[in-house]
Structure 1
Amino acid sequence: MSRPSVKYTATVIGTPTPRTLARFYAELLGWEIGADEPEWATVRNPEGGAGLSFQIEEHHRRPVWPGSASDQQMMMHLDFEVDDLEAASKHAVSLGAVVAHFQPQDDVVVHFDPDGHPFCLWIAVAAAEG
């Protein structure tokens, strides 16, 4: 049996506010809004590739990071490479992100989006030195 064709198209994030979170990530990344419905919204990279989708989760509980056994666990997080970590972090905060209190590395800044999903802005060490 041959392997069927499988193409990665998007990461889907549960949220109580699909449209709002789509707009946050569209502004953060400079991407375009695709679908824009109350229960489903998408953002797409104008240069192509996989995008982000947001589906309604009426019982969304903010994940806790770093967490413990009794906390709502983070299911995943997004990583975004940036060329200027300080400027990118300020941009994210201006859009409604919150900088996490715990920061595990010098070349990464962990943030929470408006619904509490963690994401990281990071700069490649070579880019920072070059």
Structure 2
Amino acid sequence: MSEYPRLLQTVLDTTDPRRLAEFYRRLLGLAYRPGDEPPADGAPEEPDWLVLRSPDGTNRLAFQLVDRLPRTTWPSHDVPMQAHLDLTVPDTGELARQRRRAEELGAELLLDRSDDPEEPLFVFADPSGHPFCVFVSAAP
């Protein structure tokens, strides 16, 4: 028995679980938990909970249906972000490539600090409005 609880996954609220799950599935190269995949026949669906896993089967992100989700006003604090995801890349070339990918997948650029010599980064909003950062980091 462990002395500490284990973090299973990070859960994001959304008014459209499939759309947000698809965004992160494609952005991060994740896969659906068995049974959470979109219907093969394209039938309409309204999932209220979906889980994405890494290739080794570890849960990473889950998406929970909510009726409404006020969009953060960051960098203003009228509606704070409360939490965000940090994603890292090894260099500025990859940072630029990931910016293009994120925007093609539906992310909105909120801040461009790619010229920062100490920590080049972009801050985006995902399709549900959750902020996330992509930055150059040498940390593992």
Unaligned segments of structure 1, at least 5 residues: none
Aligned CA RMSD, in angstroms, stands at 2.3
Distance in 2 separating the partners of 1:27 and 1:87: 14
Residue matched to 1:86: 96
**What is the TM-score when the length of structure 2 is the normalising length?**
0.77
Moved more, 112-121 or 36-45: 36-45
Distance in 1 separating the partners of 2:113 and 2:129: 16
Q: Does residue 83 of structure 2 align to residue 76 of structure 1?
A: yes
Q: 1:11 to 1:114 in 2, by over 3 A?
A: same
Q: 1:72 to 1:105 in 2, by over 3 A?
A: farther
Kindly indicate whether structure 1 or structure 2 has the higher relative contact order, using CA contacts under 8 Å at least 6 residues apart.
Answer: 2
| 1:55 aligns with one of 64, 75, 81 | 64
Q: Does residue 118 of structure 2 align to residue 119 of structure 1?
A: no
Q: Does residue 20 of structure 2 align to residue 13 of structure 1?
A: no
Unaligned segments of structure 2, at least 5 residues: 38-45
Is the contact between residue 28 and residue 91 of structure 1 (CA under 8 Å) also seen in structure 2? yes
Q: Secondary structure at the match of 2:97?
A: helix
Identity %, equivalent residues? 37
Q: Does residue 107 of structure 2 align to residue 108 of structure 1?
A: no
Q: Secondary structure at the match of 1:100?
A: strand
Distance in 2 separating the partners of 1:25 and 1:112: 12
Distance in 2 separating the partners of 1:28 and 1:104: 19
Q: Secondary structure at the match of 1:76?
A: coil
Distance in 2 separating the partners of 1:16 and 1:25: 15
Is the contact between residue 8 and residue 50 of structure 1 (CA under 8 Å) also seen in structure 2? no
State the 4+ residue runs in structure 1 displaced beyond 6 angstroms.
Answer: none
Is the contact between residue 110 and residue 124 of structure 2 (CA under 8 Å) also seen in structure 1? yes
Question: How many equivalent residue pairs?
Answer: 123
Distance in 2 separating the partners of 1:49 and 1:111: 25
Is the contact between residue 23 and residue 33 of structure 1 (CA under 8 Å) also seen in structure 2? no
Residue matched to 2:41: none
